[in-house]
């Protein structure tokens, strides 16, 4: 075999290896994007273990037990199930807990592959005891709401706007309205901030929210899954556009907060292994509206209220006290 033939064979081998690597990256990225966005979860042996791997933290037994208890209690509390239609024709389901002597109204948005009762079971008693009428929404692509895909806040912000319109229709006294969200729900309410909102939307509570779908996917890929995000990121963006017609960099909380005038209470735990606390610092810096920051030492993802209930409740009371009677924007 002459040198030319050897070089050709070597080049062919390299090209084949490169093609195989790209093919493997495409298959794994398509699978991960399906896990991230599709209502129907991929069929794997242990989805709970897969979620733990993606979120980057271990099984916190006492926390999960407390969460399960709060979820069950909230679900079994008498309330009204509400159905509305989204801007794109999807069924949206919510759970309405009116307070007989309400001081304010709250639209609450839960997180990724979670539920309204799971994410807000902890804090629901406190909200009721402090005069809040609450609409707990079920995010699209999850639970009883319609939609085949989740949008990591990029689509859900318009659903949140529809819930704001609905809750304001139940508000003859023109009481202040607040938006509250946990994780992806926090990203949802922050991305809602620069939409055209009623004047009585007085504030946003964003607990452990990320900055963008691109940023959180990049963080999870590199830190929790130990994958390079260069080629994966390009493929993920293409697949995201294919599924929800929006790219991973097309919308961010940073952009929304720069343009918003609605006050925000940012909350995050220092030990968050899913959404790094640095993302809340970035959101805080980007926010041009009045803002407050509650950082909870030692709290992992969504655990700030569980870790420091009294500080969290005081932060909410102080926030309401300042903005209930103010024009926010």
Distances (CA, A) of 298 to 4, 20, 28: 62, 43, 33
Q: What is the pLDDT of residue 79?
A: 98
What phi, psi does 62 have (nearest 5°)? -60, -40
CB 135 within 8 A of CB 166: yes
Q: Model confidence over 207-236: pLDDT tens digits?
A: 999 999 999 999 998 888 888 887 788 999
Tell me which residue of 208, 192, 210, 211 sits closest to 329, measured CA to CA: 192
CB 263 within 8 A of CB 289: yes
- Beta strand segments in the chain, E: 80-85, 91-97, 104-109, 132-137, 177-182, 201-207, 264-269, 291-296
Q: What is the pLDDT of residue 326?
A: 75
Q: Which two tokens stand for residue 54?
A: 């993606």
Tell me which residue of 207, 198, 316, 309 sits closest to 262, measured CA to CA: 198
Helix, strand, coil percent values for the chain (each to nearest 5): 45, 15, 35
Partners of 105 in beta bridges = 133, 177
- What burial class does residue 325 get, using C-beta atoms within 10 Å of its C-beta: 0-12 exposed, 13-18 middle, 19+ buried? exposed
Sign of the Cα pseudo-torsion (58, 223, 184, 208, in order): positive
Partners of 93 in beta bridges = 83
User: Residue-wise pLDDT tens for the chain (329 aa)?
Assistant: 555 554 444 444 433 333 334 455 678 889 999 999 999 987 765 555 455 545 555 668 899 999 999 999 999 999 999 999 999 999 999 999 999 999 999 999 999 999 999 999 999 999 999 999 999 999 999 999 999 999 999 999 999 999 999 999 999 999 999 999 999 999 999 999 999 999 999 999 999 999 999 999 999 988 888 888 877 889 999 999 999 999 999 999 999 999 999 999 999 999 999 999 999 999 999 999 999 999 999 999 999 999 999 999 999 999 999 999 875 45
Q: Which two tokens stand for residue 52?
A: 């733990």
Partners of 104 in beta bridges = 132
* Predicted TM-score (pTM) of this structure: 0.89
Q: What is the pLDDT of residue 61?
A: 86
């Amino acid at each position: 075999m002459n040198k030319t033939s050897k070089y050709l064979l070597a080049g062919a081998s390299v090209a084949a290896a490169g093609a195989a690597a790209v093919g493997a990256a495409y298959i794994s990225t398509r699978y991960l994007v399906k896990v991230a966005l599709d209502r129907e979860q991929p069929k794997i042996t242990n989805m709970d273990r897969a979620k733990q791997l993606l979120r980057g933290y271990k099984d916190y037994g006492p926390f999960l037990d407390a969460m399960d208890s709060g979820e069950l209690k909230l679900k079994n509390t008498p309330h009204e199930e509400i159905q509305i239609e989204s801007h794109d024709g999807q069924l949206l389901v919510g759970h309405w807990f009116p307070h007989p002597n309400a001081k304010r109204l709250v639209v609450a948005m839960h997180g990724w592959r979670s539920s309204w009762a799971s994410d807000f079971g902890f804090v629901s008693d406190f909200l009721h005891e402090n005069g809040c009428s609450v609409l707990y929404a079920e995010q699209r692509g999850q639970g009883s709401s319609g939609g085949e895909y989740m949008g990591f806040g990029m689509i859900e912000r318009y659903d949140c706007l529809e819930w704001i319109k609905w809750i304001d229709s139940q508000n003859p006294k023109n009481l202040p309205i607040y938006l509250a969200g946990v994780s992806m729900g926090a990203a949802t309410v922050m991305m809602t901030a620069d939409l055209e909102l009623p004047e009585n939307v007085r504030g946003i509570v964003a607990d452990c929210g990320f900055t963008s779908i691109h940023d959180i996917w990049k963080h999870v890929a590199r830190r929790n899954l130990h994958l390079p995000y260069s080629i994966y990121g390009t493929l993920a963006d293409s697949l995201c556009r294919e599924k929800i017609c929006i790219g991973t960099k097309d919308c961010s909380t940073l952009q929304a907060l720069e343009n918003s005038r609605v006050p925000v209470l940012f909350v995050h735990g220092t030990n968050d292994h899913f959404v790094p606390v640095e993302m809340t610092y970035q959101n805080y810096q980007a926010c041009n509206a009045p803002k407050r920051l509650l950082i909870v030492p030692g709290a992992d993802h969504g655990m700030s209220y569980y870790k420091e209930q009294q500080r969290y409740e005081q932060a909410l009371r102080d926030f309401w006290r300042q903005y209930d009677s103010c024009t926010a924007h």
